[in-house]
Structure 1
Amino acid sequence: MRFLLTLALAACAALASCATSGDCEALYAASPQRQGCVFVNLPNPQAKPNASGWAIWSRFLFEAKVNAVPVDPIPVQPLTVAQLEALDANANHVVRLGHSSHLLKLGGRYWLIDPVFGERASPVGFAGPKRFHAPPIALQALPPIEGVIVSHDHYDHLDKPTIEYLAGAGRVQRFFVPLGVKARLVDMGVQADRVQEFDWWQSADHAGVVLTATPAQHFSGRTLTDRNRTLWAGWVLQTGEQKIYYSSDSGYFGGFKQIGERLGGFDLALIENGAYDAYWSAVHMTPEETAQAFADVRARVLYPVHNSTFDLAMHPWRDPLDRLAKLADQHQITLATPEIGEVLTVGQPRANRRWWVDLK
């Protein structure tokens, strides 16, 4: 209850400081995803209904969680710039920082996806979901970053302290975001001319990487009254002959098959697997749906994300990985579950370890 009150107060404070457009219907009106002042998902008659906001908050208030937070420490492999520099500049590497945050070295240059280095996924630093582990490398120790990719504006994907530091340190060349998120970054201190916005299926080439924003079935918002004022998106990154897909947050929908048909043949697919619940099944996938999405997008290796860092749902913290690992065994899915800080080199053989199985 104390957290919810704090969250409400923080939201009210944010609302008081938010600038609003008097002509919101004209803003981004050319986007097929725009209806009036908000963005919408693709039509999906098969989408499972979400429970009401009151029902969801009541569960968080009154339902006891079981094993939602790990007792044992999450293993973290410390990472140094020297280790990063030693990685083959002619290959593509992915390092898990936690949750959906990743550091990539693509063709010798560094990129970040949804970087969250803050202690909490929350509008305030003293309350809200607290991370289970430290990042494998300090924010201040990061090498110069060629590009930062943001999928949507939720607090577990767009972290204000992280963005403010990156903007103030001047260590990022470009930011790539869905429609509407540019204003968020500018408010956090990022220079407007360093931010490029994308609608679904739009592409751009930067530093040898072709980026394409892809559809997702989700929602956006950081306060009580700005729901869906910004767009949400997955991303495809192609560098050389290799392609990486990042689903971002999404419920299961037909868009995954569209992505597979238009862009598929991915060497690696980072797909959401965590923070699901029957009460919000339209916007997050179960492990079974994650496995189906992986088949739909036509990828070679499944790399589950959005788990093992924050307590954002009712399920036990190990449930996403346990269930997906079982499915991988049943369906001969090549599964990659690197530890926090572990380097995965795209397209290279690796011994996958299920690091969580002996943890409580």
Structure 2
Amino acid sequence: MNSKIKRKYSLTFLVLAILLALGGTGWYINNQIGKLNSGDERNEAYSKYSYYSSVIDEFISPKEIVSYPEQTTGGNAGFWRFFKTSPNAPQFELPKHVLTKRDFPEVPSSYAAYWLGHSTAIIELDGYRILIDPVFKNAGPLPIIARRMSVSPLRREDIPAIDIILITHDHYDHLEAETIKFLANKNIQFIAPLAVGARLQGWGVPKNKITELGWDQTITHGSLRVTACPTVHYSGRSYNDRNKTLWVSYVIKGEKKNLYWSGDTGYGEHFKEIGRKYGPFDLAFMEIDAWNKGWPNTHLFPEQVIQACQDIDAALLFPIHFSTFDLALHRWDESISVVADMASQNNIEIVTPIMGEKVIPGITQTTNWWIPQ
């Protein structure tokens, strides 16, 4: 075979390899994005809700989400930053208690919590085990996008027996396709916002295991009452599916404890309304990070975290949504430092476990672990 023919075959092989790689990557990303209901199904299912517009086929936030790129602080907010190592990441591995299945009691306790980083947590209440927004790897459709600043204290393979999974919305830092696939065939009740069920079904969760909730809708599971509530936010996993699914916070009421899980939210009057309808709360898991002047009502600023706790009448604050992904161009420990100080100034009790630490909120003593010793 002469050199000309060899070059031709080599070029053909290279082109085929590139096409296969692109095709494989495209298939992988499409699978990570997940499925949605068809337009007719959506209109029939959701048009009865005042916060859904059949005209534009979108769910509507209680307050319009605004963006001011010229006011963005902290550096370049472009998407390509998520491919790089964050300059705001800690220079050391954050403290954590590494967990395996053996660390969880066979029968869940009456009241305990394990924060696993960002917005992923396990709550034990009334002998049931609840897993919320399970994300154990990165926060994007490819492994190289939005990598964690600190590894999870629990491997996906070591997740203990779970009774309920709560999903607040479909952003990648709250809904991980591989984890849903891993748990799809287990005896778990999945509770998710309206239209998120199609994503779960596409990843293998049987339809009869999924309950979709709109705002102020409730489902019971044994002694637990789970109610979805409004937040000021948005949804989407690709460039063309913004607000095609709903986003929620949750009230989790047991026999003796009443808990609030904020999900992602900007500040708004919905907090006072939630407090009026469902409060007071023994504990509020409240997002504290990813705020920026460039997107002023997508997440809570530190002072708004404090105000929200007061609005809902929460006895105890459990900060979440921080120290794991650099979403807002500020130092990894800035949010927790400011929120902890402001909580002290406002006489709000705060519980701040290291990742993976089992705590009984209000009883277990926690530390300011983010402050260098």
**Category of TM-score, reference length = shorter chain:** 0.7 to 0.9
Distance change >3 Å, CA 66–CA 84, structure 1 → 2: closer
The 5 Å alignment of 1:1-360 reads 14=30, 21-23=38-40, 24-36=42-54, 37-42=57-62, 44=63, 49-51=66-68, 59-60=77-78, 67-85=87-105, 89=109, 91-118=110-137, 120-125=138-143, 127-167=144-184, 170-346=185-361, 348-358=362-372
Secondary structure at 1:280's aligned position in 2?
Answer: coil
Instruction: Assess, with a 3 A threshold, how the Cα gap between structure 1 residues 150 and 104 changes in structure 2: closer, same or farther.
Output: same
Q: Which amino acid aligns with 1:78?
A: V
Residues 50 and 281 of structure 1 are in contact (CA less than 8 Å); yes or no, is this contact kept in structure 2?
Answer: yes
Distance in structure 2 (CA, Å) of the matches to 1:240 and 1:296: 23
The more displaced of 59-68 and 211-220 is 59-68
5+ residue gaps in structure 2? Answer: 1-21
Contact 1:338/1:353 (<8 A) preserved: yes
Is residue 146–residue 207 contact of structure 1 (8 Å, CA) maintained in 2? no
Q: Offset of 1:207 from its aligned partner?
A: 2.8
| Alpha-carbon distance change, 341 to 30 in structure 1, aligned in 2, over 3 angstroms | same
Q: How much does 1:80 deviate?
A: 3.4
Corresponding letter in the other structure for 1:355: W
Percent identity of equivalent pairs: 32
- Distance of aligned partners of 1:311 and 1:173 in 2 relative to their CA distance in 1, 3 Å threshold: same
Report the residue type matching 1:163 in the other structure.
I
* CA distance in 1 between partners of 2:129 and 2:226 (Å): 14
In 1, distance between residues paired with 2:126 and 2:80? 50
Q: Name the aligned partner's letter for residue 240 of structure 2.
A: T
Contact map agreement 2:317 2:350 (CA 8 A) in 1: yes
Q: 2:136–2:154: 8 Å Cα contact kept in structure 1?
A: no
When Rg is computed on C-alpha atoms for both structures, the one with the higher figure is 2
1:150 CA drift (Å): 0.2
Q: What runs of 5+ residues in structure 1 fail to find an aligned partner? A: 1-5
Aligned CA distance change for structure 1 residues 265 and 291 (closer, same or farther; 3 Å): same
Report SS of the residue matched to 2:192: strand
Aligned 8 A contact 2:29 2:141 in 1: no
Deviation at 1:191, TM superposition (A): 0.6
- In structure 2, C-alpha distance between the alignment counterparts of 1:102 and 1:316, rounded to whole Å: 23
Matches of 2:304 and 2:263, distance apart in 1: 14
Q: Partners in 2 of 1:274 and 1:354 — Cα distance?
A: 17
Q: Distance in 2 between matches of 1:17 and 1:327?
A: 40
The alignment's TM-score, normalised by the length of structure 2, stands at 0.85
Task: Give the counterpart letter for 1:299 in structure 2.
Answer: A
1:239-288 C-alpha deviation (Å, 9 max, x unpaired)? 11101100000000000000001101111100110011111111111111
Provide runs of 4+ in structure 1 moved above 4 Å.
9-13, 15-20, 55-58, 61-67
Please report how far the alpha carbon of residue 31 of structure 1 lies from its aligned counterpart in structure 2 after TM superposition: 1.3
Question: Secondary structure at the residue paired with 1:110?
Answer: strand
Q: Go from structure 1 to structure 2 and tell me whether the alpha carbon gap of 1:34 and 1:335 turns closer, same or farther (over 3 Å shift).
A: same
Tell me whether 56-65 or 173-182 shows the greater mean CA deviation.
Answer: 56-65
Shift of 1:186: 0.5
| CA distance in structure 2 between the aligned counterparts of 1:301 and 1:33, rounded to whole angstroms | 31
CA distance in 1, matches of 2:182, 2:79: 34
Partner residue of 1:3? none
CA RMSD of aligned residues (A): 2.8
Offset from partner CA, 1:111-164 (integer Å, 9 cap, x none):
10001112x100112x21111222222221222211100000000000001111
Call closer, same or farther: CA 1:193–1:65 in 2, change over 3 Å.
closer
- Give the partner amino acid of 2:302: P
CA shift for structure 1 position 10: 5.9
Aligned residue for 1:111, secondary structure, equals: strand
Q: C-alpha separation between the residues in 2 aligned to 1:181 and 1:357?
A: 38
After TM superposition, give the deviation of residue 52 of structure 1 in Å: 5.5
> Residues 112 and 17 of structure 1: is their aligned pair in 2 closer, same or farther, counting only changes over 3 Å?
closer
Residues 202 and 213, structure 1, Cα contact 8 Å, conserved in 2: yes
Length, aligned pairs only: 343
Structure 2: distance between partners of 1:48 and 1:103: 30
C-alpha deviation, 1:87, in angstroms: 7.8
1:14 maps to amino acid: N
How far apart in 2 are the matches of 1:296 and 1:17? 36
Q: Is residue 11–residue 224 contact of structure 1 (8 Å, CA) maintained in 2?
A: no
